[in-house]
């Protein structure tokens, strides 16, 4: 149950008074000081009037990645031995949540070069991948219909590559580059994922 103050949610900062300890038990993100329950976090007051617990929801959710989850990330290393990914988002219940973790692609040769010996992913690329193994780092694959590069920059001049006749093209250098692109390459929502 969310405590109502009129019709507004009650937002508190650390040190704010939530109630007396004879009314409520101190819940999550609170502490008890001299029979008063005090917020220990920034967040929204949640008073459970059935169990008589006052707590503060600070909005931080623990995310547990699992196999088949879709992730978003940036290629940070791509050499003959390893492709490393800085993961920045994960899809949970159809929504992209912020999520930071390290990932890697093991079967590098699948994406690194195609039969024409051109690179199909590049350092800096924003990708959508799928988790195939959960360990200390997450193993990622780009094999799948929705998967691949979402945004990429020219390896020569760093301009954002645009999709032209099914291939990626740098309008600055007037040349194309090969990537394993996702079907929605350069959709506007991915521009803001760039940090
Ligand atoms: Zn260029």
Q: Is residue 82 domain-shared with residue 178, that is, in the same domain?
A: yes
> Do 102 and 176 fall into the same domain?
yes
Look at the pTM and tell me if it is higher than 0.75: no
C-alpha 171 to ligand 1 mean position (Å): 7
Q: Are residues 132 and 175 in the same domain?
A: yes
* Same domain? 40 vs 78: no
Is residue 31 situated within a structural domain?
Answer: yes
- Do 95 and 174 lie in one domain? The reply is yes
Distances from the Cα of 61 to the Cα of 55, 69, 142, 143, 145, angstroms: 15, 17, 27, 29, 29
Q: What is the total count of domains within the chain?
A: 2
CA of 177 from ligand 1 middle (Å) equals 9
- Residue 101 sits in a domain of what CATH number? 2.40.50.140
Read off the pLDDT band of 2 (50, 70, 90): very low
User: In this structure, are residues 147 and 129 in contact, taking their beta carbons and an 8 Å threshold?
Assistant: yes
Same structural domain, 39 and 92: no
Does residue 134 surpass a pLDDT of 90? yes
What does the pLDDT read at residue 103? Answer: 97
- Does some domain include residue 64? no
- Same structural domain for residues 160 and 109? yes
Q: Is residue 161 part of a domain?
A: yes
pLDDT value at position 150? Answer: 94
Of 105, 109, 102, whose CA–CA distance to 86 is shortest? 102
Residue numbers of the domain that contains 31: 4-57
Contacts of 189 (CB under 8 A, 6+ apart): none
Q: Where does the chain show beta strands of DSSP type E?
A: 4-5, 8-9, 11-12, 17-20, 25-26, 30-33, 36-39, 43-48, 53-57, 70-78, 83-92, 95-105, 126-134, 138-141, 148-151, 162-164, 167-170, 175-177
Instruction: Provide the residues around ligand 1 (an ion) whose CB is within 5 A.
Output: 154, 156-157, 159, 170, 172-173
Residues 6+ away with beta carbon under 8 Å from 15: 38, 39
* 192 Cα: distance to centroid of ligand 1 (angstroms): 21
62 domain residue, yes or no: no
Rounded to the nearest angstrom, the distance between the alpha carbon of 50 and the centre of ligand 1 is 63
Mean pLDDT of 132-138: 94
Length of the chain: 195
Do residues 75 and 130 share a domain? yes
Phi, psi of 40 (to 5 degrees): -105, 5
Based on the fold, state whether residues 116 and 179 are members of the same structural domain: yes
> Per residue in 18-49, pLDDT tens?
999 999 999 999 999 999 999 999 999 999 99
Q: What pLDDT shows up at residue 149?
A: 94
What does the pLDDT average to over 98-115?
74
* Mean pLDDT, rounded, for 76-102: 89
From the list 158, 165, 163, the residue with the least C-alpha distance to 182 is: 163
pLDDT at 192 over 60: no
């Amino acid at each position: 149950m969310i405590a109502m103050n009129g019709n507004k949610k009650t937002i508190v900062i650390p040190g704010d008074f939530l109630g007396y300890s004879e009314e409520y038990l101190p819940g999550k993100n609170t502490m008890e000081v001299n029979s008063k329950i005090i917020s220990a976090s920034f967040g929204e007051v949640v008073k459970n009037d059935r169990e008589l617990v006052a707590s503060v929801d600070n909005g931080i959710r623990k995310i547990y990645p699992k196999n088949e989850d879709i992730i978003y990330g940036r290629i940070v290393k791509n050499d003959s031995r390893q492709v490393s990914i800085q993961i920045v988002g994960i899809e949970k219940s159809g929504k992209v949540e912020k999520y930071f973790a390290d990932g890697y692609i093991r079967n590098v040769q699948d994406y690194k070069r195609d039969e024409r010996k051109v690179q199909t992913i590049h350092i800096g690329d924003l990708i959508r991948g799928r988790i195939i193994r959960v360990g200390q780092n997450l193993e990622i694959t780009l094999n799948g219909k929705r998967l691949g590069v979402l945004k990429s920059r020219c390896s020569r001049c760093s301009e954002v590559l645009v999709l032209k006749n099914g291939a990626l093209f740098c309008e600055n250098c007037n040349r194309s580059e090969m990537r394993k692109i996702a079907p929605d390459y350069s959709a506007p929502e991915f521009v803001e994922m760039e940090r």
